[in-house]
Structure 1
Amino acid sequence: MPDDLGHSLPKRTLRDPRELRAMAHPVRIRIMDELFIAGSLTASQLSDRIGESPANCSWHLRQLAKYGYVEEAGGGTGRQRPWRPVIESRSWGERSEGELAAAGAAMADLMYRHEFAEHEEYRRREDSEPQDWYDAAYWSQSFAWLTAAELTELKEAIVDLVLRYAERFTDPATRPTDARAVRLVSWGFPARPWSEDRK
């Protein structure tokens, strides 16, 4: 299951269903997007960006903080306090059952739907992008015959490539002047059940 930033960052494996349910909310996913893009924001600034009331943003921020997804960035009071994302690798990839499995499935479903919606939104506006960004954006689909070890190696290589730029989340000074927030989604999974591959 998802490992959202990689393995050279602090790692946290989510084993409490409450931790997963705390993030499995559309408003909270949007709040996290905005915090990753901006670095830090207040509830009032988030309100302007996502179209929710400052009070609602403040409540969701407190819930995210309770489970370690965000933290206060320092300075300000009340709804003018800035918040920032906690930068760590989170996973819930161990097989589970019961409440944890249900919470993990709900979280994964929400994240998949969110990323697909963001991709569809980009496709609607892609013709308005500057030519260099239009050319740089990509979508790739392929098949490969791999062992489980090779798929793990490929996954880790992709994560390592992305992690070259991880410091840009926390230090805006490291971002080139022409850098933009870019969504990166990748997956690799068996194309068919094990029994069908043997045919």
Structure 2
Amino acid sequence: MASNESRRVSDLETLKAFGHPLRMKLYRALYIAGSATASQLADQVDEAVSLVSYHLRKLADHGLIEEAERQGGDGRERWWQPASKGLNFHEEDFSDAPEKVAVHAAVGRLSFDQHIEMYRRYLDSARSWPPEWRSAASSSEYLARLTHEELSALSREVHELIDRYEELGRAREEAGDTEGRENVAMHLYAFPFRT
């Protein structure tokens, strides 16, 4: 990754570019891999290499991914990597026009739908995972009465904790500690609601 910081996406065109189902899947797969070619990603998402290449170029056009250093193999293939540690989208950046509100909401729904699909696949295949992985997995709902300041502080602390574990895992993997390591998704949603 070029930048160790998350990128705050605040322009509508970049949000629209990211808001495509295949591009979201490709970004996620590339983020997990660290770097990959279109051919490698096409195998993961079960799409044609030409289609994957097209969508990777669209992500690159908006600075969401970038070319990476070539890693062996076919010297003609381009390697890609995320351009930042992650992406975040804030409602306030898209609240000044109805089209921006609609696109932000649509991208949020699409992301949520993909999260649900990932979790459903896990539930459907849970028995194929060893017991230690099934017991390590979790699904919880927490309900609290907080102010918006408290919710902001909680969100910040949770993100810092996850960042710490993600950095620890990457450092250990880079040092050769790959035994028993799997991709792990953690989806958190914190939002106000009224009964």
- Report the TM-score, using the length of structure 2 for normalisation: 0.85
Does the C-alpha gap of structure 1 residues 172 and 65 become closer, same or farther in structure 2, counting only changes over 3 Å? farther
Does the C-alpha gap of structure 1 residues 16 and 89 become closer, same or farther in structure 2, counting only changes over 3 Å? same
Aligned to 1:4: none
Counterpart mapping for 1:6-155 below 5 A: 9-75=4-70, 78=76, 80-95=77-92, 96=95, 97-155=97-155
Question: Gapped runs of 5+ residues in structure 2?
Answer: none
Question: Gapped runs of 5+ residues in structure 1?
Answer: 1-7
Secondary structure of the equivalent of 1:56? helix
Aligned to 1:189: 191
Shift of 1:171: 8.4
Shift of 1:77: 5.3
- Name the aligned partner's letter for residue 117 of structure 2: A
**Residues 91, 104 of structure 2: 8 Å contact kept:** no
**Residues 39, 172 of structure 1: 8 Å contact kept:** no
Does the C-alpha gap of structure 1 residues 73 and 170 become closer, same or farther in structure 2, counting only changes over 3 Å? farther
**Residues 36, 79 of structure 2: 8 Å contact kept:** yes
- Name the aligned partner's letter for residue 131 of structure 1: P
Secondary structure of the equivalent of 1:107? helix
**Residues 40, 84 of structure 1: 8 Å contact kept:** yes
Shift of 1:104: 0.9
The number of residues matched between the two structures is 185
- Name the aligned partner's letter for residue 138 of structure 1: S
Percent identical? 34
Deviates more, 1:42-51 or 1:58-67: 42-51
CA RMSD across the alignment: 2.2
Does the C-alpha gap of structure 1 residues 172 and 81 become closer, same or farther in structure 2, counting only changes over 3 Å? farther
- Name the aligned partner's letter for residue 81 of structure 1: R
Secondary structure of the equivalent of 2:7? strand
Shift of 1:60: 0.5
Partner Cα distance (2:172, 2:100) in 1: 34
Q: Which has the higher contact order (CA 8 A, sep 6+)?
A: 1
Aligned to 2:165: 165
Shift of 1:59: 0.5
Q: CA offsets per residue over residues 42-76 of structure 1, 9 Å max, x none?
A: 11111112111111111101000011111111226
Partner Cα distance (2:32, 2:85) in 1: 15
- Name the aligned partner's letter for residue 24 of structure 1: G
